[in-house]
Amino acid sequence: MSKIIKYSEAVRIIKNAILQSRYQAARLANKEQLQLYYDVGNYVSINTRTGKWGTGAIEEISRQLQIELPGLRGYSASNIKYMRAFFEEWNGMFTNRHLVSGDLESSVSSENRHLPSGDNSDEMLDAFLRVGFTHHREIISKCKSLEGRWHYIMRCASEFWNVDTLKEHLKADDYSHYGSLPNNFNLTIPDESLAERAVQSFKDEYLLDYINIDEEDDPEVKDERVYNKRIIADIRKLIMTFGEGFCPIRSEFG
């Protein structure tokens, strides 16, 4: 019995370490994704709002990206427009840290390449980068008050809300009932009781798309997973036309 108890404790400790590590990895991936989306949104905004690109440019860019990077997800025309909105909604608040890098850097003006500043800028920046892109999209579309947006961002970051939970709080108009933005949000690494919920909060459809790479950089290497997924998707579609009596095929690739 004592050995069972000891092993149970070992399992608990290792499980917690795994969840903590997953959370940290998800945070880093989320930060990179938000920076990339902000940069892409900046680039697209400059070229579409000035009329430099013609009508249908975003749709065509999305289509060509799918050709250049087979299996790429998260870059539909509608999502590229979300990136543009993400940049345009937050552009006025970003005055401290650079986001743009690489080829996009030469395509945007220097005054547009920063993150929020203020008395709590470090804490606010940390919270901002802990929140998934779908969360940001919901907050931007449902809350027009700047202070209200920060309220929801800080609560998402500190309480590890998933998207559904955020939607419930937005629908209930929490901020209007909560009052001014409190300054006591706890942005520490989640403890054992919150670790699993923290990891789940990063199950953002766009983040999953961002980190799931299906193609190889080497053009001579053919990634069979991409073709496998396409074939299986076609087979599933065909089988489903036969009616509910047929069982869909389960793919090892998901």
Strand, coil or helix: 172: coil
Q: At what angle do helices 133-142 and 146-159 cross, to 10 degrees?
A: 150
Q: Rounded CA gap, 32 and 14, in Å?
A: 27
Contact 132, 163 (CB under 8 A): yes
Q: What pTM does this model have?
A: 0.70
Q: Rounded CA gap, 162 and 156, in Å?
A: 8
Nearest to 160 by CA among 136, 196, 206: 196
pLDDT tens sequence across 150-172: 999 999 998 889 999 999 999 99
Q: Rounded CA gap, 123 and 47, in Å?
A: 32
Contact 22, 199 (CB under 8 A): yes
Query: CA 230, 235, 236, 237 torsion: positive or negative?
Result: positive
Contact 84, 48 (CB under 8 A): yes
What residues of the chain score a pLDDT lower than 70? 1-5, 94-120, 179-190, 193, 205, 211-254
* Residue 102 identity: G
Dihedrals φ, ψ of 82, to 5°? -65, -40
pLDDT tens sequence across 183-221: 556 666 667 767 778 778 877 767 777 766 554 444 444
The CA angle 80-84-88, to the nearest 5 degrees, is 170
Query: CA 157, 159, 164, 170 torsion: positive or negative?
Result: negative
